[in-house]
Structure 1
């Protein structure tokens, strides 16, 4: 499906509100039990939760879900709803003898979309809970979930996903693209990461310049998840997330700015053992390419919201 859910056991759910003063939402990546997590942050303005826990030297190495949300720091509340949904199903780090005595581990990151809606309209814990309830193997892209109010430079941003096979392994990525930089060369309509696309995956250059008449925002962030069915430890997961950040650098110009909170989580489900450092390095290389493609998909699939025009409208 060219989606992060090509990694067996991974599910994605969205919940959002667009219109009537709203343009924000939440996306949740639900993970199979035993998934190992990692994280890498490159932007100068992050908004995150449970990232310290994912440091290789710390105790807990398993994660149950990742929550991506709009709403800036307010949107971190959506992760509470994800924890509630998981706890109702006895999913989490066990801290007692009874089945329900668990603490769900839900790393989260947020992007800044407050100008897209009326002040005070931002994700709550119910957004996270509802996104979990909607999770499936089918991943909607564009102006959905955490991408509902996203902006990518001069164009509407959104949710994008992609995947690749690396030998016997699968690597998938999901990105919520709200970058300060441009994903598209506005002089030609060509994605900066055009050369990474599969045959026919990205559009041919439209061949005309765009005059969008907008000023770039100074409060942004691209956040996302890269997942694989490989068996990795926390340190290796962190390196996978670091590699995915290179995908942002390939797809967004400029990237990792002082005004972006670029954060990527990594998830390794552990279904397949890694036999050699060469196999591991191939996974890292694929993570960069797949995340870059997911970023481009997020912009290509987005639809116009208010006066923030989409790629589809500018290059119809």
Structure 2
């Protein structure tokens, strides 16, 4: 029987920002027969996720982890010459997985997408990337390569699955299965009224996303967004008894996107604020051995509503109030996306999913469809 994967829903996904696309490619073959027994974690359990970006967008990045695995992040510094990326790669496989970006570059080049270099039509696609450390979950030698990136790029669109998919196939969040999550907000008032902010995050932290005392994600004030309720006592006891992750190497990586028109320094502010969302959702976060990295993209499809403008002191950027409002939204969608990654993940390689451990928490409903609706 084929698993029905949770699907990101309109109104609560990064692709609510027009022009953004998401594609996954992963392999999950997490159990192999050894004699008469089965042994988890020796097959494939990894993948890559590609976020495509429309032409003309501005991009930035903020790296907070002490052990990041990244590519082309220096290029996105505000003082450098390139203003934006053509796609962002989020991948498993640790540093080995960075090769998946080669396949994305190859696919973009064949489509003529990239930084124009001459009159003959040659381009250089700008494809920054970040990795998670998932090598112990499957076979150590089984990691994403250029083909993974190329296939994920080919699959990119507005509709995409969440949970144990793409770069989140082998992710682990503390004692539970991690994965890919997404969320979005359209600002309804203030200087950023009408602008949308979305996030897609791969959650693979050593820190916990679920409070072991309550069995619910940190930040109880936002639980209604995920339709959760306190789990049964027996399930809570089981959750507390789970063994901690066997490695201190951890990473949460992702992309924040908005349809606003922003400068590169302003986009960088969205990436920076997104890390507040990581700190809200993961405890502890930003350890010296993690690689927490967030990219940010502004498509420039919309401008702020002039009727919602506020007075700005002279000497400050005129859009500072808009950026502040978008930064607040960035933190919220990153937090929600991390929780969504854990809520929608399924058990892989013996790493139990939240849904399997505390099924009663979902008695109030489920915030993501399975693609059958």
Distance in 1 (CA, whole Å) between partners of 2:240 and 2:140 is 29
Q: 1:10 aligns with which of 17, 20, 23?
A: 20
Distance in 1 (CA, whole Å) between partners of 2:218 and 2:150 is 36
The worse-fitting range, judged by mean Cα deviation, of 183-192 and 108-117 is: 183-192
Contact 1:194 1:202 in 2 (8 A): no
Q: CA deviation at 1:306?
A: 2.0
Q: Which has the larger radius of gyration?
A: 2
Distance in 1 (CA, whole Å) between partners of 2:157 and 2:147 is 18
Q: Indicate yes or no: 2:93 matched with 1:83.
A: no
Contact 1:26 1:131 in 2 (8 A): yes
Q: Indicate yes or no: 2:133 matched with 1:112.
A: yes
Q: 2:76 aligns with which of 54, 65, 72?
A: 54
Partner-residue secondary structure (3-state), 1:22: strand
Q: CA deviation at 1:281?
A: 0.9
Contact 1:4 1:227 in 2 (8 A): yes
Q: 2:29 aligns with which of 11, 14, 19?
A: 19
Identify if the C-alpha distance between structure 1 residues 37 and 200 changes in structure 2 by more than 3 Å, giving closer, same or farther: closer
Contact 2:101 2:127 in 1 (8 A): yes
Q: CA deviation at 1:200?
A: 4.7
Q: Indicate yes or no: 2:337 matched with 1:294.
A: yes
Q: 1:215 aligns with which of 235, 240, 244?
A: 244
Q: Indicate yes or no: 2:145 matched with 1:124.
A: yes
Q: Indicate yes or no: 2:212 matched with 1:186.
A: yes
Alignment RMSD (CA, Å): 1.2
Q: 1:169 aligns with which of 192, 195, 211?
A: 195
Query: Unaligned 5+ residue runs, structure 1?
Result: none
Please report the TM-score for the alignment, with normalisation by the length of structure 2.
0.82
Q: CA deviation at 1:273?
A: 2.1
Distance in 2 (CA, whole Å) between partners of 1:297 and 1:79 is 25
Please report the TM-score for the alignment, with normalisation by the length of structure 1.
0.97
The worse-fitting range, judged by mean Cα deviation, of 256-265 and 209-218 is: 209-218
Q: 2:353 aligns with which of 304, 310, 313?
A: 310
Query: Unaligned 5+ residue runs, structure 2?
Result: 1-9, 31-42, 188-192, 307-318, 360-373
Aligned residues: 314
Distance in 1 (CA, whole Å) between partners of 2:323 and 2:232 is 40
Partner-residue secondary structure (3-state), 2:340: helix
Distance in 2 (CA, whole Å) between partners of 1:200 and 1:251 is 14
Q: How does 1:264-279 map to 2 (within 5 A)?
A: 264-274=294-304, 276-279=319-322
Alignment correspondent of 2:365: none
Distance in 1 (CA, whole Å) between partners of 2:151 and 2:241 is 35
Distance in 2 (CA, whole Å) between partners of 1:303 and 1:152 is 12
Q: CA deviation at 1:25?
A: 0.2
Q: 1:257 aligns with which of 279, 287, 292?
A: 287
Distance in 2 (CA, whole Å) between partners of 1:175 and 1:49 is 17
Contact 2:48 2:166 in 1 (8 A): yes
Alignment correspondent of 2:62: 40
Q: CA deviation at 1:196?
A: 2.9
Distance in 2 (CA, whole Å) between partners of 1:202 and 1:47 is 34
Partner-residue secondary structure (3-state), 2:240: coil
Partner-residue secondary structure (3-state), 1:29: strand
Distance in 2 (CA, whole Å) between partners of 1:211 and 1:315 is 11
Distance in 1 (CA, whole Å) between partners of 2:88 and 2:94 is 16
The worse-fitting range, judged by mean Cα deviation, of 26-35 and 271-280 is: 271-280
Partner-residue secondary structure (3-state), 1:139: coil
Q: 1:28 aligns with which of 50, 66, 72?
A: 50
Alignment correspondent of 2:166: 145
